[in-house]
Each structure stands twice: as C-alpha cells, then as structure tokens.
Amino acid sequence: MSRINVMKPWLGADEVLAVTEVIESGWVAQGPRVARFETEFAAHMQVDFAVATSSCTSALHLALIVAGIGAGDEVIVPSFSFIATANAPTYVGARPVFADVDLTTGNVTAQTVAAVVSAQTRAVIIVDQGGVPVDLLSLRELCDRQGIVIIEDAACGAGSTYHGRSVGAGADIAAWSFHPRKLLTTGEGGMLTTNNRDWAVRARQLREHAMSVSASDRQGSLLAAPEVYAEVGYNYRMTDLQAAVGIVQLGKLPEIVRRRRELAERYAGVIDGIPGLRAVADPEWGTGNFQSFWIDVQPDFALDREGVLAALADAEVSARRGIMAAHRQPAYRDRCDGAVLPVTEYLTDHTLILPLYHDLTLADQDRVLDTLVVAASVQKCGAA
Ligand SMILES: Cc1ncc(COP(=O)(O)O)c(C=O)c1O
C-alpha cells in the first residue's frame, strides 16, 4: 500500500523548461521574470500593483511597514492561523491582538473583530483560512469608521473568490504565499498586492535594501548611477528562477482550482453523510480553492481527532492536525492577556486536514473515504 501525502505540488516539464531558460539566460536573481510575474499576478488577482517577495511572511512585514504600523499600535489577527500572521505585527513592534473566528468558515468576522477593537487598533489582518474567503465587506464599515487598515493574509487564497472577484482584491493590501503547501508554488516565495501606488513603490524599494536603483537596473546600464539608501531595508527579493516557475504555475491555477473543487465535492459527498463529521464548505459570499480540505471531528463521533488521525495513518494516509492556535504557543502565551477564544480552541482541537492535491487519484481518495466510513461504523458498534 503506497503512502498518500497530504499535499503534493503540481510541477512538471513546463516548469523545468522555464527554469532551464532562466539558467541559460545567465540572469538568475531578481530581474525580468520577476517583473513579468508581478504584472501577470496583478492582472490575475484584479489589483493594480504586485510586488514579489521572498515569502508571504516578508510580504506581511512590508505591508505593515508601508501602512505605517509600528510600536504602540495594535493589530488584530486571528490566533487560528499559521504563526506568521501574528509574527508580522510583532516584527514592527506592534501588539498582535487575537480575535476569535467563526465555527463554519474558520475566519474572523465583524463581530469577533469588533469585540477586541481598541483606541490603539491600527490594522486588522484577515486570513482566508485554508482558502475559505473571508467576509471582507462585513468588516469594511467597522474598519473605515475607525481608520483601521485591512490587510488580507491571502497566503492560502490564490484562486478563491469573494463576490465574484479574486480574494485580496478588496483589501487595502494583501499578502500571498507560494510555499509548496499552497496551490501555486515557487518553492518559497510571496507577493504583496495593493491598489495604492505609494505603498507599492515603497514596498518595492524596501524588499531590495531600500535601494533607490534596483539591482537589475544597475546591472542593465553600463555606467550605473550611484544608489541612495533613504531608510533601512531588507533582502526580501524573489529570484528569476522562482518567478519563472511562478509564471507557469499561475497559468495552471484555474485548472488546479477546478480539480481541487472537483475532489472536494467528492469528499463532501461522502463525509456530509457521516454523522459526527463536518466538512469545510463554500460560504455564501464566495468560492474556496480548498487549499486545505479540513473536517471537524465532532464530540459525538466515536473516535476523537487523534483517533481518526491514527486510523488514517494505519491506512498509510498522511493527514494533518488542523490549523494551530498562535495564542497557545510559548511565543505568545504570556502576551495575550487571557484572550478568550473558544471557537479557535475548538477548531484547533477537533479539525484535521485530509489529503488533497491535483494528482490525487480517485482510488487514493476512496482509501481516505473508506477509512472514515470504517471509523464511523466503529462508532455505530460502540453505541449499540
Ligand atoms: C495563513 C498563513 N499566513 C502566512 C503564512 C506564511 O507563508 P510563507 O511560508 O510564504 O511565509 C502561511 C504559511 O503557511 C499561512 O498559512
């Protein structure tokens, strides 16, 4: 029985060819491919500007800097997210304040954010958790009234839609990840998108040591003008090797989303009929890319979440515990003023992520489903 992994990127001959062309061109660092990837990504995500970065984490960091967030400010974030969401405000000296999430979507809502807004709140980082689109419009009124910047952590969201547009398009700034756990990968990598020209220009400089002349422009001229460093910047650059892969992957994104949604529907068709299990689903305001297909192992199911994970492991299925809760980690445990996050804690303790990737075969998916059906029948025997 071969092992079924939780995720496998869809990479192939086109990516190999694209990387080969970059190597043969002799220009492997940030250059023309990065510029092209930015242009195509911005068009695809329906925004004016895209700035490629080394990761989503670095894009979040730059987003907070260009939005003017710093020491003494509070930034509302879900604890129910990969820890990078909470780390970004910490990098700029701001305080991450944890908001709870909605049980169905796993995302923050206007109510959970309003519950923790204070006079110090300057920004909120909303997350499309597992690719489920966050209900941005419900937060707009609250945030606009108080001058709170909305930053969308769309790390998982490429290919998800919100009211018919790409997620991220309606936020003040969005940050994206191209880690291999995401639909679109460049190995490591990220993107910052915004419609604010000034923010895009500053982010573009900051990601490259805040140089006034980019390395590729200097390299392209015979007598380069001396560059000026007006502020302290970072090396958050993407390479042309990565961008070449990203351009190919972006072209494949609609097909990746279509396939994932097809497999997700097949999962849900069985899981929705198993009492005690609940599968993630599209919210009424958009469509998800099913970056993570998570299920909630409810308390009335005979096996608890760890038991289901063990049953899947016995069937050589590598599932994963659901999303972490940052406020429980040593890095934040002592700095969150006794945050009360019951839904976050419930979801962190009861959800698990099932394998879902482009090349997942129906036979392998059936093995996952059969394991869940058997686990459910154990429950029936136990209850009899
Ligand atoms: C919600 C969220 N934000 C941020 C990140 C960090 O992305 P990266 O690894 O590209 O820095 C991740 C990665 O898993 C994530 O899931």
Inter-CA distances, 71 with 56, 95, 142, 334, Å: 22, 8, 23, 19
Residue-level pLDDT at 303: 96
204-235 pLDDT per residue, tens: 999 999 999 887 777 778 888 888 999 999 99
Q: In angstroms, what is the span from residue 81 Cα to ligand 1's centroid?
A: 8
Whether residues 265 and 204 share a domain: the answer is: no
Q: Does 368 fall in a domain?
A: yes
Asked if 225 and 163 sit in the same domain, the reply is: yes
Mutational pocket test of ligand 1: of 79, 82, 129, 176, the residue with most ligand atoms within 8 Å of the beta carbon: 82
| CA 129 to ligand 1 centroid distance, Å | 10
Q: Find the mean pLDDT for residues 73-96.
A: 98
Which of 179, 181, 291 gets mutated to test ligand 1 (max ligand atoms within 8 A of its CB)? 179
Question: How, if at all, do strands 190-194 and 49-53 pair?
Answer: antiparallel
Distance CA 37, CA 250 (A): 9
In a domain, 370, yes or no: yes
- Counting from 1 in the atom list of ligand 1, the atom nearest the Cα of 129 is 1
Distance of CA 1 to the CA centre of its chain: 32
Using a 6 Å cutoff on CB, does residue 62 contact ligand 1?
A: no
Q: Kindly name the residue from 8, 182, 252, 380 that is annotated as catalytic.
A: 182
State the total domains in the chain. Answer: 2
Q: Is residue 2 part of a domain?
A: no
Q: Check whether residue 137 and residue 87 sit in a common domain.
A: yes
Lookup result for tokens 């915004």? 194
Are 231 and 299 found together in one domain?
no
CA–CA dist 70, 214 (Å, integer)? 26
Are residues 135 and 268 located together in one domain of the fold?
no
Q: Which atom of ligand 1 is nearest to the CA of 81?
A: 1
Domain stops at, among 228, 251, 274: 251
What per-residue confidence (pLDDT) applies to 379? 52
pLDDT at 4: 98
Nearest residue (CA) to ligand 1, atom 16: 82
Q: Is 380 tagged catalytic? A: no
- Let me know if residue 3 belongs to a domain: no
Sign of CA dihedral 367, 370, 374, 376: positive
Q: Is residue 25 part of a domain?
A: yes
For the chain, the average pLDDT equals 96
| pLDDT tens track for 244-299 | 999 999 999 999 999 999 999 999 999 999 999 999 999 999 999 999 999 999 99
Q: Could you say which DSSP state residue 329 is in? A: S
Domain closes at, from 223, 251, 279: 251
331 and 183 share a domain?
no
Name the residue type at position 119.
A
Same domain, yes or no: 168 and 239: yes
pLDDT at 123: 98
Q: Using CB atoms within 10 A of its CB, is residue 297 exposed (0-12), middle (13-18) or buried (19+)?
A: buried
Q: Are strands 95-99 and 74-78 parallel, antiparallel or unpaired?
A: parallel
Instruction: Specify the residue for token string 């992994």.
Output: 5
- Considering the domain architecture, whether residues 258 and 152 belong to the same structural domain is answered as no
Q: Are residue 215 and residue 302 in the same domain, yes or no?
A: no
Residue 138 included in any domain: yes
Residues 6+ apart with CB under 8 A from 153: 56, 60, 81, 85, 125, 126, 127, 128, 174, 175
Q: What is the CATH number of the domain that holds 129?
A: 3.40.640.10
Place of tokens 């599968």: 279
Cα 220 to ligand 1 centre (Å) = 33
124 pairs with which residues across the strands? 76, 150
E strand or H helix that includes residue 347: helix 342-350
* CATH code at position 343: 3.90.1150.10
Q: Which residues contact 265 (CB under 8 A, 6 or more apart)?
A: none
**Pocket of ligand 1 contains residue 82 by CB under 6 Å:** yes
Indicate whether 175 pLDDT > 50: yes
What is the C-alpha separation between 186 and 86, in angstroms, rounded? 23
Q: Within a domain: residue 336?
A: yes
Look at residue 380 and tell me whether its pLDDT is greater than 60. no
Q: Could you tell me which of 60, 41, 26 has the C-alpha nearest to residue 149?
A: 60
Q: What pLDDT does 381 receive?
A: 52
Q: Is the pLDDT of residue 384 over 50?
A: no
Ligand 1 within 6 A of 242 CB? no
Helix (H, G, I), strand (E, B) or coil at 68: coil
Q: Which of 197, 133, 178 lies closest to 37 in space, CA to CA?
A: 178
Question: Domain of 326?
Answer: 254-383
Claim to verify: residue 191 and residue 328 sit in the same structural domain: no
Domain termination site, one of 251, 273, 306: 251
Tell me if 292 CB under 6 Å of ligand 1: no
Helix (H) or strand (E) holding 352: strand 351-354
C-alpha to C-alpha distance for 3 and 369, rounded to whole angstroms = 15
Atom 14 (ligand 1) nearest CA: 82
Shared domain for 89 and 154, answered yes or no, is: yes
pTM above 0.85, yes or no: yes
Q: What gap in Å lies between CA 281 and CA 6, rounded to an integer? A: 18
**Token pair belonging to 70:** 């710093």
DSSP per-residue codes, 287-312:
E---SSEEEEE-TTSSS-HHHHHHHH
- Residue 179, ligand 1, Cβ within 6 A: yes
> What's the CA-to-centroid distance between 155 and ligand 1, angstroms?
5
Q: What is the percentage of the chain residues whose pLDDT exceeds 90?
A: 92
Which atom of ligand 1 is nearest to 58's Cα?
11
CA 372 to chain centre: 27
Looking at the fold, whether 124 and 196 belong to one and the same domain comes out as: yes
Q: pLDDT by residue (tens digit) across 4-63?
A: 999 999 999 999 999 999 999 999 999 999 999 999 999 999 999 999 999 999 999 999
Give domain status of residue 65, yes or no: yes
The pick from 156, 176, 181 for probing ligand 1's pocket by mutation, whose C-beta has the most ligand atoms within 8 angstroms, reads 156
